[in-house]
Each structure stands twice: as structure tokens, then as C-alpha cells.
Amino acid sequence: SAEDGSAAWLRYAPVTQAKNSRLLPAAIIALNSTKSSPVYTAGQELRDGIAGIFSKELNVSTQARRTSSAVIVGTLTAYTNDYGDLEDAEDLEEDGFFLSTEQDQVVIVGHNERGALYGAFEYLSRLAQGDLSPTSFISNPQAPIRWTNEWNNLDGSIERGYAGPSIFFRDGFVLENVTRAAEYARLLASIRINGIIINNVNANATLLTARNIEGLARLADAIRPYGIQLGISLNFASPRDLGGLSSFDPLDPKVDAWWMNITTQIYAKVPDMIGYLVKANSEGQPGPLTYNRTLADGANMFARAVRPYGGVVMFRAFVYDNHISPANWKADRANAQLEFFQHLDGKFDENVVVQIKYGPIDFQVREPASPLFGALHNTSTAIELQVTQEYLGHQCHLVYLAPLWKEILGSDLRADSRSSKVKDIVSGSRFKRPLGGYAGVVNVGTNSTWLGSHLAMSNLYAYGRLAWDASLESEAILQDWTRLTFGLDQEVLDTITDMSMKSWPAYENYSGNLGIQTLTDILYTHFGPNPASQDNNGWGQWTRADKASIGMDRTVKNGTGNAGHYPPEVAQIYENIETTPDNLLLWFHHVPYTQRLKSGKTVIQHFYDAHYEGADTAQAFVRQWESLKSKVDNERWNHIMFRQTFQAGHALVWRDSINQFYHNLSEIPDESKRVGNH
Ligand code: GCW
């Protein structure tokens, strides 16, 4: 049914503004489109959308003609050939679109076919939100790379996926039925995503067998009508493990030739493959360091192979040693990225992009921006974000992530004492790089809701919107999504807005505060509270909590030196307790529990209070959602009610576990006498 979640924000539900439907065009012209092209898809979407929203059936033709009222969609070239110059669209860039609804003709023109499809989805999004006001504007993407990463294994399981098995693979092979993959591509196209890396970064070499390459072609064919290209993650040791060579040394000519050959085979079947994603020498994965080659040697080997086809290599910066010693006060996993990559700046081929997780550790509820963004000036970079809520409640907790992402994207790292916001670095503009952009780990599954939770879909929606334009406001994005997903009722809009905008702060409050990291179990499940799991192991997500004090000393003067990995103006802020913002205090400093925050509270009292506040907010979500019972269909209302009830209960578990843990450790009483035995 329409409300099982499959259609997500593309429901095309009827809107009551239909009285204005006289403003609608009378026909659709999808210029010069052939079946399965994105412009053809645009024509079909416009027809289906207008039928759904306004109950008006329009014909779609594929050839230009003069009409008094039509929606015309096509590439700029096609449009100008048939209808003459379009000055307003002069500044279109790759993937960009021009939309004009000011005249009797609605004009949707893309720089390329994909852009035209984006314009069609934009027009439909406005109609579905009841917005028929005249408009005329150009929209260009801030960055060329707007991809998802899907950590799907060939056996059909998904690493850190919380919505059932894979829509791409089963039992070692690509699925025969690629319908769901095409439906996913449709959703992604509507938020202007242009690439999917379909398999896990912990990659299996058997993806490269002849049978699976055929399967890749099938998937690529299924998503191509939506302007989406397919890419794959590689296992660095494939030449040995699959190819039977004695090594996988990137400087061994036989290895190089093996990759060239396999790449040629893939491009023969998938001529528009976007490229490769590589996790090397990280968490047990093989890589060039095995042969004392540099990470750049490894990345460039793939870059040479895909270059003739216009392919890109995304090389992950998530390289670190997971056996570091907690006994060493100066050891710090957060230092790994700069240590491994800074000296390679400028040594990567032009079609390599270093893909950097937003923070120096691993998708925690609060991290500073990775210092690597500010350190690579001669290397293209992309930011890796996580839609799947690995450390953030597995989609069982509502945590709207756009505010977190925007905080990172807006961080100004002040490289060379000039404005150096992360969003301007990854767009390529700050350091004048040819490539750059966004990688979002999504991990959709076969669950009809895609992510296992209706409300979690706001994160996927927001990811695409921010990858296109990071200057958009979190709340505005959320409200577009809400109207598209739940309709135009004001109370529904206000309630979901309020819940969502409070959700990240609430989760931070009842999990890990002040930059101490999420405090979830890091050894097994990454779910639920387990503050003791952080310390005394080689993973380096330490809190260094003892009876009297807590936090990682990352100062240059006395600690791991990580604060000094940032450009000087920012380094100075983090080096000093007085200037470090409270929310990152324990990320950069080791302090007594009695340390006073800028708020005047002590660290420990802040912990206690924040946990009560956060858990209270989660209780309120239940009542808020309850109030919408008559306004949301039963299926979705019940599904969300179940999750909000779970979150409310789990928030109490979080609150009491964390508070009790630090109370036991510090033996400092809660001023409000809630924690401990009273
Ligand atoms: O945080 C870790 C995750 C792993 C993941 C890894 C990575 C895919 O727990 O599941 O592996 O990060 O990003 O490579």
C-alpha cells in the first residue's frame, strides 16, 4: 500500500490546493527522450506525480511541439534546438537545472539529462507541498560527487544495516530481481544523488567473478534511467585471493596488469561505472602498507586503471592501528589520519579523492571536524557521513542528523588563516580541487520502510539535500520532508519538527556528553550504554575516566598533540580549556569531575542533569506522537509509536546506566539526589 513506506517522500498524495490546478500545464513534453533515459523517466514521473496530486491525467510526448500550455523537460541543448535560446539558463553547470513556472509553459531544463530529471522532481516536490506559486531559478550542485555507500555483503547481510537484508545481493551473487534497486535509485535521484557504491568497504574479492560482473551490469541498467551510476568497493588483495597471483603489491607489474584487465572487463559491461571505493590497511583489511608501499601507491594503481573511462577512486582515510596501547598517555587514534595522509598530500593522481569520516574517530554523537580536511591542500577530498545510525540508536531512536552534519560542514578550520569551512573544502572550492563531495553510508534493506523506521528517512532525505547545498537550513529540509511524507497538516508539521529538532541534543544528553563520545558499547553491538567498553583496549576510543578525572588530553603541551593537528587559529582554541567549547571539553582535555563548565556546572553535575533532561525529552516524544493519532494513517502511526515507546524506555536505561557508572566511579553525589542510593 501507499503507506507502507516504500514511496517514502515520493508519495504524490492528493493535496487540497487542487483548486489551483487550472495553473497546471495541459501536457508533458519530455524532449527527445528515448525509453530508459533520465529525461524519459522525468516525463513518466511528471505524469504520475500530477495524476497523484491533482487527479489530472496528462499525455507525455517525446517530441517538441508548440502548445499553449505544457511542461517541457529536457536538456539545455535539446531545448534550445527546438525552442530557441534560453538566456536564463546560461549559468547551468554539470547536473544543474533551470526551473521556470512563470509562464503558461513550465520549463525544466537540465545541463544534462540527469539535471533535467532533478528539475522535474523539484517541480513535483513543490506541487506535492501545495506550492503553485510562480518561480524561476537555476540550481547547481556544490560538488560533483554525491554518492551513497552501502555496506552490503555478497551473502545478503549488511554491516551496520538495520532494515533487513540486501536489495542488491544474496547467497554470494547479485540478485536476479533488481526492482527494488530501481525503486531505490528513484528515491536517490529525487534528492540528487548521482552514485551508489553498492557493496561493503570490507569487500569480498568474489564480487569480481564473471557472474557477478554480469550482475553489476544488471544493477547498473536498473539504476541508469534515474541518472545514477554504480560503483564498487574493492578488496585490495583480490589479485591474490581471486586472481591466484602470489602478491597484491601495487608496484608489482603483474598486479597492476591484473587490475587493468579486470577493470576493462567491468567497463565492457558497465560503461558508465563511477569508479572504485577502497578501504585499505584498516581494521584488518589488506593494503599497500603490507608491502611497504604508500597509501598513495595503492590508490594510484586503481586510478590508472579507471582513468581511461573517466572513473574516480575514493580512497578512505579511515586508516588506523586498532592495537594501540592505552598505557601510553600520548597514543591517540585521532592522530592516525594526519600521520597516514598528510605527507602524501599532492601525491595522489588527479582522479583520486580521499574520503574522510566527519570526525577523527568514528561517527560519534559529537566530534570536532577531522583535522585532515584542513591539512590536504593538494588532494581532492570528500566527507563521509552516516545515515545508518550505527552509534546513534540503530534507527530505534529518532535522531535527526542534519544539525550534526551542518555543524561539521560549517566548521571553519582556518587553513592559512583564511575561511576554510569543511563544506567549501569538500566542494573543491577552497583549495581549487577538480573533484570532491559527499559519501553517505546509508545501508537500506528490504524492509518496506527502507531504513527500518519511517522517521529515520528524514536523514536520507537531508543527506541528499545537503550534499547538493550545504547552506540549506536543517529545519527547512525537515519540513519539506515532513510535508512530502505526511501531508500538509500544520499540527503534524509542527510536532514532527519539534521532535526532530530536539532529537540530536536529546540523544547526546542521554548518551555521552561534553565530547566524551557516544558511550555506547563499542566492542560488540554498538547499541545501548556501555561506558566501560571504551577503555583498556586497543581500539583507542578512550575516555580515560578514573575516580577523579575524565577526558582525553589531546593538547600539545601535555597530551597527544592532536589539538595541534588543526591549523594554528583553531589549534589554539582547542589547546586551552578556557576557549574549548563545553561540548568538546572532554574530547580535548582531561579534567577533574569537579571542573566548572562555562555554564557554571561541574562536569559530573552536567552529566547527571543532561541525562535526566535527555531522557525526559524522549518521554515527551511519546506524548507528542500520541497527539497525532487522528492525523496519521494507522500503519505508520503504530510503527512510529512502537519505536518512540522503545526509545523512551531505552533512554531511561541509558540515563541510569551512565549516571550510575560515573556515580560509582567518582562517588560524587548528585546535587538533586536522583543518582545513587537515597
Ligand atoms: O566503525 C567501524 C564499523 C565497521 C565499519 C568501519 C568502517 C564497514 O564498526 O562496521 O566497517 O567502521 O567504516 O570501515
C-alpha cell at 605: 553535575
Q: Is the CB of 521 under 6 A from ligand 1?
A: no
- The single residue of 390, 480, 508, 609 carrying the catalytic annotation is 390
Q: What SS3 string covers 420-446?
A: CEHHHHHCCCCCCCCCCEEEEECCCCC
Q: Is the CB of 318 under 6 A from ligand 1?
A: yes
Q: Check if 171 is active-site.
A: no
Average pLDDT over residues 262-271: 98
C-alpha cell at 600: 557554571
pLDDT value at position 20? 62
Amino acid identity at 252? D
- In the predicted model, is pLDDT for residue 135 greater than 70? yes
Nearest CA owner, ligand 1 atom 13: 318
Closest approach atom of ligand 1 to CA 279: 14
ipTM associated with this complex: 0.99
Q: What architecture is the 16-139 domain classified under in CATH?
A: 2-Layer Sandwich (3.30)
CA of 478 from ligand 1 middle (Å) equals: 27
CA of 417 from ligand 1 middle (Å) equals: 34
Average pLDDT over residues 528-547: 97
C-alpha cell at 14: 492528493
Q: What are phi and psi of 249, to 5 degrees?
A: -65, 120
pLDDT value at position 19? 56
Amino acid identity at 232? I
Q: Does this chain's domain 16-139 share its CATH topology with 531-552+590-666?
A: no
Give dist(CA 405, CA 419) in Å, integer. 18
Strand partners, 596: 602
Which one of 204, 277, 283, 386 would you pick to mutate in the ligand 1 pocket, going by the greatest count of ligand atoms within 8 A of its CB?
283
Give dist(CA 341, CA 292) in Å, integer. 15
pLDDT value at position 1? 44
Three-state DSSP at 386 gives strand
Ordered by start, the domain boundaries in the chain are 16-139, 145-484, 531-552+590-666
- In the predicted model, is pLDDT for residue 103 greater than 90? no
CATH of domain 145-484: 3.20.20.80
Nearest residue to 189 via CA among 134, 128, 231, 148: 148
Give dist(CA 352, CA 349) in Å, integer. 6
Average pLDDT over residues 665-673: 97
pLDDT value at position 16? 76
- The single residue of 283, 350, 667, 671 carrying the catalytic annotation is 283
- Judged by phi (left if over 0) then psi (alpha if -120 to 50, else beta), residue 519 lies in left
pLDDT value at position 266? 98
Average pLDDT over residues 8-31: 84
Instruction: Determine if the pTM surpasses 0.80.
Output: yes
Number of residues in the chain: 678
With residues binned 3-state (H G I as helix, E B as strand, rest as coil), the percentages for the chain, rounded to 5, are 40, 10, 45
Beta-carbon contacts of 503 under 8 Å, excluding residues fewer than 6 positions away, are 397, 398, 399, 400, 617, 621
* End-to-end Cα separation, the chain, in angstroms: 53
Q: What is the DSSP string of 224-246?
A: GGGT-EEEEEE-TTHHHHTT--S
C-alpha cell at 325: 596501547
Q: Is the dihedral of CA 24, 27, 30, 35 positive or negative?
A: positive
- The single residue of 249, 297, 362, 480 carrying the catalytic annotation is 362
Nearest CA owner, ligand 1 atom 11: 202
Closest approach atom of ligand 1 to CA 363: 1
Nearest CA owner, ligand 1 atom 14: 201
C-alpha cell at 614: 535527555
Beta-carbon contacts of 632 under 8 Å, excluding residues fewer than 6 positions away, are 486, 492, 640
- Judged by phi (left if over 0) then psi (alpha if -120 to 50, else beta), residue 443 lies in left
DSSP state of 166: -
- Look at the block and give the residue holding cell 586503481: 302
Give dist(CA 507, CA 397) in Å, integer. 8
Q: Is the CB of 391 under 6 A from ligand 1?
A: no
CA of 242 from ligand 1 middle (Å) equals: 23
For 279-290, b/e burial (b = at least 16 CB within 10 A) is bbbbeebbbbbb
Average pLDDT of every residue of the chain: 96
Q: Is the CB of 157 under 6 A from ligand 1?
A: no
Helix ranges (H only) for 270-349 are 295-306, 336-341
Tell me the pLDDT tens digit for each residue of 593-628: 999 999 999 999 999 999 999 999 999 999 999 999
Give dist(CA 135, CA 238) in Å, integer. 52
Give dist(CA 163, CA 4) in Å, integer. 14
Share of the chain above pLDDT 70, in %: 99
Closest approach atom of ligand 1 to CA 316: 14
Q: Is the CB of 575 under 6 A from ligand 1?
A: no
pLDDT confidence tier of residue 395, bands split at 50, 70 and 90: very high
Strand partners, 173: 170
pLDDT value at position 610? 98
Average pLDDT over residues 385-408: 98
The topology (CATH level 3) of 531-552+590-666 is Alpha-d-glucuronidase, C-terminal Domain (3.90.1330)
Q: Check if 283 is active-site.
A: yes
pLDDT value at position 375? 98
Q: What is the DSSP string of 26-62?
A: S-EEETT--TTSHHHHHHHHHHHHHHHHH-----EES
CA of 629 from ligand 1 middle (Å) equals: 38
Nearest residue to 116 via CA among 17, 32, 209: 32
Q: Check if 390 is active-site.
A: yes
Residue 497 near residue 489, CB atoms below 8 Å: no
C-alpha cell at 491: 499540527
- In the predicted model, is pLDDT for residue 21 greater than 80? no
- In the predicted model, is pLDDT for residue 67 greater than 90? no
